[in-house]
Structure 1
């Protein structure tokens, strides 16, 4: 089951400046405690991304432009269900609009290599092609395009479509971000997918009481849902907690805790 992994906690709402902040280094440590029919497992995830130029917030401290245009490197380590997952990747944005990306990941000795080429047609439109090669499996190719429609101020509606080379799998996603009044914001995302005739959908929404505090929820076609709350205690550190389950059965539950550092 896929969740947004997060549950209700007491909200800490404080006064915060609405000025934009700038960050280059993002780190995240996450723990997901999963309980299924009496059995339980705690999974861990550690991720970091460094951008070679500053990323500017749109108001909330965890909201940035829809289409990233900054060269970066990223790495991650996960321990889930007694398996170790390792990942190392990056993106390079050239001055002429060319975008090159690469990623290497491993799980229990097996690897997946990914290489991508793209072109930044404009600040609001990017196209990409990816080649994904798992160990001992044929290479698959993926093609995508993302478009950002800028609204008033920092508000926007973004769209992304992706399809594989045999047109067996297709996804379409969209995100809406808007400033409300009195320093409040909203972000809403929806996604549709078709996997060789089997369709699915998912939706999520986050409401920001200020640039530092938010609550959110998600729901999908399989009746999986999650609830979350997130608070930045200062400009650099945030704590997020949440709960996820399924509306049709209470056998599976996910309790999550996430610490984020931005510098």
Structure 2
């Protein structure tokens, strides 16, 4: 928690320079997020950053850059909560249409990591196999397929299916993105997950962008209400607020995002 205010104090003044940049292409994505769970009064802070080795073009709104990741990238994050703090590191590297990916969720516990490879077909279908290595020797193997259907120049429908090799755990998610009249946009995100040792969960979130500066969203996470709002200072800086009414305790989240 002690790093959040210094970080924001450094990033916030940069918003005054946003109008001096004209390019909408971005390569470096940064987020500072604060979370509070009311039931046990648990606080956490997450600082995350991702760098792409090729420019990313937005789809018309300033926080959407298409459904599939098709360029090499490296990501890092730091999580500081009332219970633990740790660094995470991940990356994905492309060579022609083939790619490899790797992840260490906690750099202090390198026994827990993942490595995989996959293939990208026609910039529309992305399939991968990832081997997870766990300290408890469970070592699950996951298969994933992602498909992006480009409806027209602006609209798309994306689907992701993930499953463990024994099919005991699996999930499916989808995102629909549509450009409306008068500079407005609509998105719908839906997902369903089922696990061997957990109950199935279905969630959805519908969001409406009034313009490129303001958006609101509402949905359900299983049977729990979730709400969000986004305010964009420019194509580089925006705030996001999120609320979820959960049986495990209401979750309140706020983040500041900086894209360059």
Give 1:33's aligned residue. Answer: 36
TM-score, scaled to structure 2:
0.86
- Residue 35 of structure 2 contacts residue 43 of structure 2 at CA under 8 Å; is this kept in 1? yes
Q: Hey, what does 1:22 align to over in structure 2?
A: 25
Partner of 1:226: 226
* Deviation beyond 2 Å, 4+ runs, structure 1: 107-111, 196-200
State the Cα distance separating 1:194 from its structure 2 match.
2.2
Question: Which residue is equivalent to 1:76?
Answer: 77
Which structure shows the higher strand fraction? Answer: 1
CA displacement 1:211-232 (0-9 Å, x = unmatched) = 22111123122x2222111111
Gaps of 5+ in 1: 1-15
TM-score (norm 1): 0.85
Q: Do the aligned partners of 1:83 and 1:107 also contact (CA within 8 Å) in 2? A: no
- Residue 43 (structure 2) pairs with residue 42 (structure 1): yes
Contact 2:113 2:133 in 1 (8 A): yes
Residue 66 (structure 1) shift = 0.7
The answer as to 2:153 corresponding to 1:153 is: yes
Matched, 1:135 2:135: yes
1:243: how far off?
Answer: 2.0
Q: Does 1:194 align with 2:194?
A: yes
CA RMSD of the aligned region, Å?
Answer: 2.0
User: What runs of 5+ residues in structure 2 fail to find an aligned partner?
Assistant: 1-18
The structure with the greater share of residues assigned to helix is 2
Give the one of 232, 254, 258 matched to 1:257: 254
2:241 aligned residue: 241
Aligned to 1:88: 89
166-175 or 21-30: which moved more?
166-175
Match in the other structure for 2:13: none
What is the number of residues matched between the two proteins? 239
Within 5 A, what are the aligned runs for 1:166-177?
A: 166-177=166-177
